[in-house]
Each structure stands twice: as C-alpha cells, then as structure tokens.
Amino acid sequence: MAEPQLLPGNRFRAYRATGQTPEFVCLATSITLTITNAYEDATVADCDNPLETPWRKSVKSSSSWGGRFSGSIAADHLDDFRADVSSEDAVPYQFQVDRNAAGGGGKWAGNVFYENFEITKNNNGIVSFTAQLRGDGPLVWTDASA
C-alpha cells in the first residue's frame, strides 16, 4: 500500500462564493465540514432460517450538510459576515481541498444559511468568532484540474 500524502491544514480552506471570484475566509483558523445521512430501518428476518435472529436493514432517507469555522476577526471583514448572517437567501460557500486531482483535490460547493455567528473576547485579548452554517440543498463535489 502506498504511503498517504497528508493534507496540511492550510490546504483545506473555506471560501465565500458570492461574487465572480470566491473570497477566501482568511480569518478562519479552524474549519469543519460535516455531511450527515439519515436512515430508515427495518428488521429483516431470514425466511430460510426462521430461528435466526433478524438483522437490521437500513435505507438512506436523506442527506444534509453543514459547516463551522472560527478564528480571529478583523473589523473590515465584519460587513460580509453581517450580510450573510442577516440574509434571507442562502449564500454560496465552498470548501476546498487544495491538491491536484491525482492527489484527491477538488472542492465542495453549496448554499448555506448561518445558524449562528458569535464574536467573543477573553480578558482583553484578541476578538474571536465562530460561525455555524446550515447547508441548503445539495453539496456538490468537483474534482480539481490535473
């Protein structure tokens, strides 16, 4: 088995994709993308062996996704965050794996609503933020170019 190529943290990035060129969320030092599948379950008996304990059988019923990022905030970046938080329409975002296609690179893209946006300060320190995103509709993967 080939040795894996590890992905440094700066190679997984979030982008706000509202304009012609997606804008890197450069203040985010922690980024999470979560894809969740929901299932309906049934207990299926073995008709050829009725004394056998039945097994659970699952059927995928839906998929959802969301994300979270956090970091330090700069005042000149608050306008974009405020606009996205107050938007009644979903806002396009991307989560990029910065590698070529052979190295597993590409990007997930989809629309999000902000579930919450929190700004915090501790002991007169640097102001930090955390954003929780809720995916709206599909999350589409596109392979990187060669």
Q: Other C-beta atoms within 10 Å of 17: how many?
A: 17
Q: How confident is the model at residue 76 (pLDDT cuts 50, 70, 90)?
A: confident
The answer for residues whose C-beta is within 8 angstroms of residue 80's C-beta and 6 or more apart is 16, 23
Q: How confident is the model at residue 8 (pLDDT cuts 50, 70, 90)?
A: confident
Predicted local distance difference test score (pLDDT) of residue 109: 97
Rounded to 5°, the CA angle 137-142-146 comes to 175
- Hey, what domains does the chain have and what are their CATH numbers? 10-37+45-143 (2.30.110)
pLDDT above 90: percentage of residues in the chain? 76
Side chain identity, residue 22? P
Lowest mean pLDDT segment, chosen from 18-22, 51-55, 111-115, 126-130: 18-22
Reply yes or no on whether the pLDDT at 1 is more than 80: no
Tell me which long-range contacts 78-83 makes (C-beta under 8 A, separation of at least 24).
Answer: 80/16, 80/23, 81/117, 81/129, 81/131
Task: Give the pair of three-digit tokens for residue 22.
Answer: 């997606």
Mean pLDDT, rounded, of the chain? 93
